[in-house]
Amino acid sequence: MAIENLEIKTQSRSAVSEDGRAGTKSESTAPRIVLNQNATAAYTQLIKSKQDELPENAALSLNKLTSALSQAPAFAPADEIPPEGSSKGTYTQLSVQLIERDEKLKEQVAQNLSSGRQLVRQRDAAAEFERNVENLPPPLQESQAGGRALAKFICEDLACLTDPNNLGAGLERGLSVNDVYVPEDKLSPRARAAASDVLTASLAYIKSNQPQVLSELEAAAAAKAAQAAAASAAA
């Protein structure tokens, strides 16, 4: 699967998969979708394919991330009140600073977060990244294991791609305190390409778990359930 098509393809497949799960329940009692399962499966498969090419720290974090995501809940009871958005997580704040200080990172993040419906300007890349992260569902919030693992992995990936000259003493200290380090040696072209591909995939994964996407999956599941109920009643 092409990295740039991760979000589009997994959304389409998710609707079919989640429909099947929700088909035996009424629209009012069907559980809420709080994680795009097929996007998660596609994302973990893709980043695993890059593991051997990433720096050691990022590769270790990748293992923790895939494990945490495999245990993250995909559904929540229909009557459960979603928790309010949590405060900005540590790794998200560090990632925002890394993006803000590096023009090449701004450019890539802006391109990856842009879509046919929204063009993200390079100067707005860090803010748009932060907004998308804050809008993630509860299982991907930094207060939860899956969200914390995702946030750290993205932060480490950004640290691999950034120009060390852009780091001030404060940011470098903040990264090291949280076990994130800029590679001492310059990445090989292959490793840098892998880190860039992983960043593209991570941003696509974030986009595939935005509220509008999850709502569309729920609507598709409800429509499928209604069709199944009507067909059963007519039989």
Reported as a single tens digit per residue, the pLDDT across 118-144 is: 999 999 999 999 999 999 999 999 999
Crossing angle for the helix pair 211-234 and 6-22, to the nearest 10 degrees = 40
Q: What does the pLDDT average to over 229-235?
A: 77
Indicate the residue type of 74. Answer: A
User: Which residues contact residue 222 at a Cβ distance below 8 angstroms, ignoring those fewer than 6 apart?
Assistant: 22, 27, 30
Q: Is the pLDDT of residue 99 over 60?
A: yes
Identity at 146, one-letter amino acid code: G
pLDDT tens track for 148-171 = 999 999 999 999 999 999 899 999
Please tell me the distance from the alpha carbon of residue 98 to that of residue 161, in angstroms, as a whole number. 10
What torsion, rounded to 10 degrees, do the Cα atoms 84, 86, 88, 90 define? -170
Domain that holds residue 64: 3-76+85-234
Contact between 69 and 150 (Cβ < 8 Å):
yes
Place 102 in a pLDDT band, splitting at 50, 70 and 90. Answer: very high
Q: Residue written as tokens 């990295």?
A: 3
Q: Which of 16-25, 71-80, 84-93, 192-201 has the lowest mean pLDDT?
A: 16-25
- Structure tokens that stand for 187 in this block: 């990445």
Mean pLDDT of the residues in the chain = 87
Mean pLDDT of 8-21: 40
Query: Range with the lowest mean pLDDT among 54-58, 103-107, 145-149?
Result: 54-58
* More confidently predicted of 177 and 77: 177
189 vs 14: which has the higher pLDDT: 189
Split into its structural domains, the chain has a count of 1
Higher-confidence position of 23 and 101: 101
Cβ neighbour number for residue 62 with a 10 Å cutoff: 21
